[in-house]
């Protein structure tokens, strides 16, 4: 038996990286998986891989900064699979991906809008269904940089990424307490630097890659599947007494 047999999971940012790893792992553990991404083609590719292995999956597009799209997405999941048990808020951006002509304020607004507001809007839409059912698990993707500041030289103090992820950590605490007696758990993952599209510009730089590896006591960066296994724990009933927490999956980074 799989650890998520009979459950339905919605994963945002499912087209690549940690989101894709979560979608495929959750399917392997028995879940119906709805793969959502701003780039619907990439989400469909992940869903097709799941379907090709005999799993149950569907895909759709979503801009998590738009409330109506978040609400509509939850309705699509309900129509497709008849329920919603798990939400993984993996959609996210970094200022490194912003247009070069944007100033610091435009980048800050964009990152906060996607990473923090987007997590809130998707959680709001999903929690309405979960609270009515009296069961559910929301897994938010935060970051080690939501728990500690960037290492010296990696930020000018106005980088919106740690600001957004720190907000996700606090949102997780608040939602976790608010929903605790109603059957819905809310937790966050705080990955260390992990090989994804968001970090590619850093890890493609040989000197930067060595610097980042040196910041992790294990001497290496994370792989998406390693984060996905932690998400699986939080999504499953194995973590039934865990809510409002932020789990660092970081090779020892925040233990220093």
Mean pLDDT for back-to-back runs of 10 residues, the chain (256 residues): 96 98 98 98 98 98 98 98 98 93 96 98 98 98 96 90 98 98 98 93 93 96 98 98 98 97
Cα separation, 8 vs 29, whole angstroms: 11
CA distance 190 to 92: 13
The answer to whether 229 is a known catalytic residue is: no
Count of the separate structural domains present in the chain: 1
Q: Considering 150, 161, 233, 253, which one is annotated as catalytic?
A: 161
Residue 255 belongs to some domain of the structure: no
- Which domain does 192 fall in, by range? 8-197+224-243
DSSP tag of 113: I
- Asked, for residue 104, whether it belongs to a domain, the answer is yes
Which pLDDT does position 153 carry in this prediction? Answer: 85
Residue 34 sits in a domain whose CATH number is: 3.40.50.720
Domain assignment present for residue 252? The answer is no
- CA dihedral in degrees (196, 202, 205, 210; nearest 10)? -90
pLDDT at 1: 85
Q: Alpha-carbon distance 73 to 77, whole Å?
A: 6
Contact 107, 96 (CB under 8 A): no
In a domain, 37, yes or no: yes
Query: What distance in Å separates the CA atoms of residue 121 and residue 102, rounded to the nearest whole number?
Result: 25
Residue 228 lies in a domain: yes
**Position 113 in a domain:** yes
115 part of a folded domain = yes
C-beta atoms surrounding 74 within 10 Å = 23
The span from the CA of 20 to the CA of 59, in Å, is 12
């Amino acid at each position: 038996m799989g650890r998520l047999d009979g459950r339905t999971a919605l994963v945002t940012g499912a087209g690549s990286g940690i989101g894709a790893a979560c979608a495929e792992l959750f399917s392997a553990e028995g879940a119906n998986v709805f793969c959502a991404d701003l780039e619907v083609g990439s989400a469909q590719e992940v869903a097709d891989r799941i379907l090709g292995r005999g799993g149950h999956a569907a895909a759709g597009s979503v801009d998590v900064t738009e409330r109506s799209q978040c609400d509509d997405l939850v309705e699509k999941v309900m129509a497709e699979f008849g329920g919603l048990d798990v939400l993984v808020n993996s959609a996210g951006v970094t200022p490194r991906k912003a247009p070069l002509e944007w100033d610091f304020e435009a980048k800050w607004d964009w990152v906060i809008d996607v990473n923090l507001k987007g997590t809130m809007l998707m959680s709001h839409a999903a929690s309405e269904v979960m609270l009515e059912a009296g069961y559910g698990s929301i897994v938010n993707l935060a970051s080690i940089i939501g728990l500690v500041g960037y290492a010296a030289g990696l930020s000018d103090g106005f980088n919106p990424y740690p600001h957004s992820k720190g907000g996700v950590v606090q949102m997780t605490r608040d939602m976790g307490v608010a929903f605790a007696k109603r059957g819905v758990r809310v937790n966050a993952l705080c990955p260390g630097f992990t090989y994804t599209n968001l970090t590619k510009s850093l890890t493609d730089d040989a000197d930067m890659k060595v610097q980042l590896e040196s910041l992790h006591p294990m001497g290496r960066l994370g792989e998406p599947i390693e984060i996905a296994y932690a998400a699986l724990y939080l999504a499953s009933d194995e973590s039934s007494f865990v809510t409002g927490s932020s789990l660092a999956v970081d090779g020892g980074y925040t233990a220093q």
